[in-house]
Amino acid sequence: MTELPELVVADRDAGAGAELGAVGLVVVGAFEGEAPEPAGLPPAVAAAAGRLAARPGWRGHEEQRAEAGLESGGPVVALQGLGKRARLTAQGLARWLRDAVDAGQKNGFESIAVALPAHPETAGAGAPERVERGLLTAAYRFDRFQTERDRPGVRARRLVAVPPAGAAADYRAAAGAARAVAAGVGLSRDLANTPANEASPAWMEERCRELAAEHGMRVTVLDAAELARRGMGGLLAVGSGSAQPPRLVRLDLDRGGPRVALVGKGVTFDTGGISLKPADKMAEMKYDKCGACTALGAARAAAELGLPVALSVYLPLAENMPDGSSCRPGDIVRCYNGKTVEILNTDAEGRLILADALAWAAEEEPAAVLELSTLTGAAVVALGHEAAALYTPDDGLAGELAAAAAASGDRLWRMPLFPEVAEQLKGDHADLKNLGSRWGGANFAAAFLGQFVGAVARWAHLDIAGVAYVGENDDEPKGATGWGVHLAVDWLRAGAGRTPGE
């Protein structure tokens, strides 16, 4: 896994001189129309930031940046705008941290400090962990397939957080949890970014076994023969056209408390099968395993944090390929809970593999089920790349997840589960069909999954198609985001009686 940099907290109340004297770049944040906050910064750094703010044209707009070296030597000082104070959000601050660290890395700085002004997003409830996680994940790069000469800049090895005055103790208290979550995010991104010629279902199984061995989890793997014996026809159908056999991996972390299930969609590459996708952007379909990668990242973080949870993670893994043995439109398959499904479109495959995994999870009668999947383009049409779609019939669970979203910065938007939508999924020649009408496709997919949760009332489906990765036409760095790891961990932590930073 990509190695995390060292994280240090500098205390403005103690002058912050020792920590900042050892870095190559100090990035000072300033709000639009406001002077930088010099309190606690070394005099030379504060003076340099003041001179930069006094330059003609400096306003503190978002993405505005100016830098200068110190006349007496020492670190380079960069002044970077945060935009209007009233408009700063957790998501905006995360982008700012990413831009600050990324610019430093591209310019060859291996040690970078970030000085933050006072604001609820920098020193409010839950802010220290969000900021530190944001710093650590900002340094992430997936570059193991690049030769040394083609890697731009350097990778930061040391990051220094300089919180507002009076907040250093809170930042130090939150550092361990932030590091555990950032490691989970890094694992999720590494797995998701790995291309399908390496990241096959078998490769994902091996990564699961490594994680289980490292963190004391039990691992159970259902291969194709066992899937057939158990009647898991949805997963078998999706994987039938690939030379890489499907499997269903289960990880168990038993540390007391009620059992909770995480289910993650793991299509290692999605061509659409016989219902072939257009060639445009098909290279992005290595990211169709992001749900499984998020679940694994959350499991790693939960283990490292020592959360007192009984966690079961279910990962249906398959490659959806066209072949003479592929499932066809019109085929009827029987899933693990006995329900039959008429396949109208082989590109609506995620719900088929999740049907078997959810039915197995529900059979264990967990207290709650949280499922994550890059399931539909319709969710992206509805919400863009700003939030994941949340579907759940349980208002209490919806509230818990909304609180976790607010604490983590991983945005959610609740969507409807109308009963008439489920009625429209009744098949002509089978119990169900895997496709609804053209409109409201994300709603139909969620309603389909609801047919496989058995008696579990507290279940939630997160359609993360719009937030799990950044594609080729977006302005942000390309690749997997690790979205949902922090949210899932905060939800588990709240259920275990803990709060962010503990």
Supply the residues annotated as catalytic.
277, 351
Nearest to residue 164, comparing CAs of 113, 112, 123? Answer: 123
Angle at 139 between CA 137 and CA 140, to 5 degrees: 70
Contacts of 225 (CB under 8 A, 6+ apart): none
As a whole number of angstroms, the distance between CA 216 and CA 145 comes to 30
The per-residue DSSP string of 397-408 comes to HHHHHHHHHHHH
As a whole number of angstroms, the distance between CA 167 and CA 490 comes to 21
Contacts of 41 (CB under 8 A, 6+ apart): 12, 16, 20, 26, 28, 49, 115, 162
> Taking the CB of residue 263, how many other CB atoms lie within 10 A of it?
29
Nearest to residue 412, comparing CAs of 330, 341, 467, 472? Answer: 467
Question: What letters, b where the CB count within 10 A reaches 16 and e where it falls short, cover 75-100?
Answer: bbbbbbbbbeeeebebeebbbbbbbb
> What is the separation of C-alpha 481 from the centre of its chain, rounded to a whole number of angstroms?
5
Question: What does each C-alpha distance from 74 to 27, 34, 79, 108 come to in angstroms?
Answer: 13, 26, 16, 15
Structure tokens at 464: 């993360």
Strand partners, 69: 76
